[in-house]
Amino acid sequence: MRGVIIADSSGLPIKSNLDIDMTEEVSAYITSLIGKGHQVVDALKEGALQFIRLETSKGEIMIALEEQLILIILK
C-alpha cells in the first residue's frame, strides 16, 4: 500500500501517512473527481455516489465516501 488519506467531506485532509505536499495534491484532485462523479450519478439518477475505484498501470486508487469523511487508499 502506497498511502492512506482521511479527509473531511469537503476534501480537507485530516490524517495521512504521505508527506503533506502529496497529501494536499491528491486530496485536491480526488475532491474534483468526486464532484464530477456526483454529477454523473445525478444525471443518470443512480442515487448516491458511495465508492470510486480507479485502476492504473501502476496500481489502484480507491475512494470511499461517507457522510462526514472521505477515505482514499493508494495501492
Q: How confident is the model at residue 7 (pLDDT cuts 50, 70, 90)?
A: very high
Our CA angle for 42, 29, 27, nearest 5°, is: 105
> Tens digit of pLDDT for each residue in 19-29?
999 999 999 99
Amino acid letter at 36? Answer: K
Domain residue spans of the chain: 3-74
> Tens digit of pLDDT for each residue in 15-61?
999 999 999 999 999 999 999 999 999 999 999 999 999 999 999 99
65 with 34: CB under 8 angstroms? yes
Q: Give pTM, 2 decimals.
A: 0.93
Bridge partners of 53? 62
Give CATH superfamily name and number for 3-74: Dynein light chain 2a, cytoplasmic (3.30.450.30)
Strand segments (E) across the chain: 3-8, 13-16, 51-55, 60-65, 69-74
